[in-house]
A and B are shown apart, each in its own frame.
Chain A
Amino acid sequence: MTTRTQTPEHPIVDDNVGMDYLSNLPRRALTIYLPLAVFVFVLLFPFYWMAITSVKPNAQLTDYANYSPLWVVEPTLQHIRYLLFETSYPGWLFNTMLVAVCATFLALAASVAAAYAIERIRFTGARYVGLAIFLAYLVPPSILFIPLAYIVFQFGIYDTKLALILTYPTFLIPFCTWLLMGYFRSIPYELEECALMDGASRWQILTKVVLPLAVPGLISAGIFAFTLSWNEFIYALTFIQSSEQKTVPVGVLTELVRGDVFEWGSLMAGALLGSLPVVILYSFFVDYYVASMTGAVKE
């Protein structure tokens, strides 16, 4: 990523010979712009569908004979109002936020220390610990949730937010540590050497020298960890029972769907509002997000 070459002025991938660009435009449109348009349409349509459904009055929702389902006449906010004032939705939003923020901070703190120890202190066996961390990253939550439920129950934290705050770092720490190890590796040894000469302790080197230089890495890891915790489902579904402790994904699915009457309007509004925080965060930090996603893959 760092050694990204500048884009060539003439796309070499093109087949056009010489300056004959205009005659190739139709071909380019057919092979590039058309597929791109189809991709973008398919990838974004569910969001449009969510948005349009969440502002549709109930009467239009299932009346395809008189109204086109793709558009809305007289949009209404009744579903959103219902969601915010007549369900526990605001509480779920708060729970999700609290759990995601706490889990992210715990995971970041533990990962910074661990990554620094593995990458820079290089204690005996650091390489193997690094490998173990990577393997831990590959352990999927869907084979861990049953024993974890058992353990959470034994610890007496079943049905509390603490259960989620303590278990989410299990998938956040391996990821963040792995990512931060890469960032720490890129910081020159000489800087630490200088600090050591000046008599700084390991802790001072970490907080005063390494961390300020690793801020982009911290942001990347933090953003990614936050979205992962926000999106987490299976632990929240398993460890939480009472309605007021639920997170948004679990709450929307288990509490807004009652019997056979699907209130699609409020369901879609719930899905949309629950996605907004991560989408907003993502839109501010696209590059960091992409860097963390591809960074984890590239190592």
Chain B
Amino acid sequence: MKANAPSLVASFGQARNGPGLLFMLPAAAFLLCFLAYPLGVGTWLGFTDTRIGRAGVFIGLENYQSLWNDSVFWLSVFNTILYTVAASALKFALGLWLALILNENLPLKSFFRAIVLLPWVVPTVLSAIAFWWIYDSQFSVISWVLMRLGLIDAPINFLGDATNARASVIAANVWRGIPFVAISLLAGLQTIPPSLQEAASLDGATSWQRFRHVTLPMLSPIIAVVMTFSVLFTFTDFQLIYVLTKGGPVNATHLMATLSFQRGIPGGQLGEGAAIAVAMTPFLLAAILFSFFGLQRRRWQQGGAD
């Protein structure tokens, strides 16, 4: 693109920086004021004992020291990792499966594609409220169906028991995340030329071999990006937990984001809440780098192989 840039435009070189900066101004103002500045403020707040309504003083690493010895914090770290790994893996597997199904020749294909995306479109909080009702301890429709089928005797206590609650919030998160993964991967699948599949099947490849050695390698760059976003969204999830369990029972589903909110806003300990948020960053970076480069490398390997 750069090589094609005509010399006429290039000759405006000196005149570029002025209008360029002017055009950047609104976006830069917003992002500096409400993104970069808060990031700095957040880091600083993490080193203070600020409470709501009272300016704090610098206390060094005290917040981090108390978090280090705080079993609830470590439980939330464990929960966040469990939640991210389990939900992302399920979203990926089911999303890829759904994408492969939708990539077939189907009647009403675009209709299916449109309705499948609905869970992703509606506000998370509102669909989470529906899940709250579906997971009701007495009147859950899932319990009712299972009782009708004679599989269980008493209603399942979905959100009242630690293991059940974890599984339930993961299921709700997967429900919401599948459409994003599926539709994005479907867009990737549609760019794979059918002739490659054809060539592979002429060479006698089975459908599994075609999937494993043609579809998957062609898809891996987009898988890397989609899963990076998916991991990012899951790791920083707040809404679903806040609606369904508020971190309970006994902190069994507290994620770092919900713990940060609980300590910071209703608890009033802005400094400690900010410290938890800052503590999320290394995990977040690691998760992003892992999913991005971990998956990306495979493309390089495959690219280098031929």
Contacts and interface: CB of A to CB of B under 8 A. Distances in A.
Contacts of A253: 125, 129, 243
Interface in B21-66: 21, 23-28, 30-31, 34-35, 37-42, 45, 50
A13 B104 contact: yes
B41 A147 contact: yes
Contact of A35 (B41, B101, B114): B101
Residue in A46, A144, A274 with the greatest tally of chain B CB atoms within 10 Å: A46
Nearest to B107: A33
Interface string B241-257: 01100000000000001
The B contact surface, by secondary structure, is: helix
Nearest to B28: A114
Given A12-B198, A13-B197, A279-B121, A166 B45 contact: no
B115 A44 contact: yes
B226 A123 contact: no
Contacts of B191: 1, 3-4
Interface in B99-131: 101-106, 110, 112-119, 121-127, 129-131
Contacts of B78: none
Interface in A250-299: 250, 252-253, 262, 264, 267-268, 270-272, 274-275, 278-279, 282-283, 286, 289-290, 293-294, 297-298
A170 B133 contact: no
B222 to A, nearest CB: 7
B125 A146 contact: no
Contacts of A126: 20
B42 A143 contact: yes
Given A49-B133, A279-B118, A297-B184, A173 B125 contact: no
Interface residues of A, number: 107
A267 B39 CA distance: 36
Given A32-B104, A170-B34, A279-B122, A53 B133 contact: yes
Nearest to A113: B23
Given A11-B104, A46-B131, A143 B278 contact: yes
Contact of A233 (B12, B124, B138, B197): B124
B6 A193 contact: yes
A49 B121 CA distance: 17
Contact of A289 (B40, B121, B207): B121
Contact of A46 (B94, B127, B144, B239): B127
Given A169-B34, A278-B123, A146 B20 contact: no
Interface stretch (A72-80, A134-142, A212-220): A134-142
B144 A234 contact: no
Given A8-B194, A129-B24, A294-B184, A36 B127 contact: no
Contacts of B178: 39, 43
A236 to B, nearest CB: 9
B119 A62 contact: no
Interface in A165-221: 166-167, 169-170, 173-174, 177, 185, 189-190, 192-193, 196-197, 202
B93 to A, nearest CB: 12
Residue in A147, A192, A272 with the greatest tally of chain B CB atoms within 10 Å: A147
B270 interface: yes
B305 interface: no
Interface string B63-93: 0000000000000000000000000000000
Contact of A274 (B116, B117, B126, B180): B126
B175 A43 contact: yes
B285 to A, nearest CB: 9
A142 B9 CA distance: 42
Given A39-B98, A43-B175, A43-B178, A249 B31 contact: no
A109 B187 contact: no
Interface of A: 1, 3-5, 7-8, 11-13, 15, 32, 35-36, 39-40, 42-44, 46-47, 49-50, 53, 61-62, 64, 69-70, 106-107, 109-111, 113-114, 116-118, 121-124, 126, 129, 133, 136, 138-151, 166-167, 169-170, 173-174, 177, 185, 189-190, 192-193, 196-197, 202, 227, 230-231, 233-234, 237-238, 248-250, 252-253, 262, 264, 267-268, 270-272, 274-275, 278-279, 282-283, 286, 289-290, 293-294, 297-298
10 contacts: A1-B191, A49-B134, A50-B130, A62-B138, A113-B27, A142-B257, A143-B42, A146-B270, A151-B34, A294-B183
Leading 7 A-B pairs by shortest Cβ distance: A123-B20, A117-B23, A114-B27, A140-B236, A147-B42, A142-B257, A249-B125
Given A146-B274, A290-B117, 13 more contacts: A35-B101, A124-B20, A142-B237, A142-B280, A143-B284, A192-B9, A231-B124, A234-B261, A267-B133, A286-B117, A294-B183, A294-B187, A298-B187
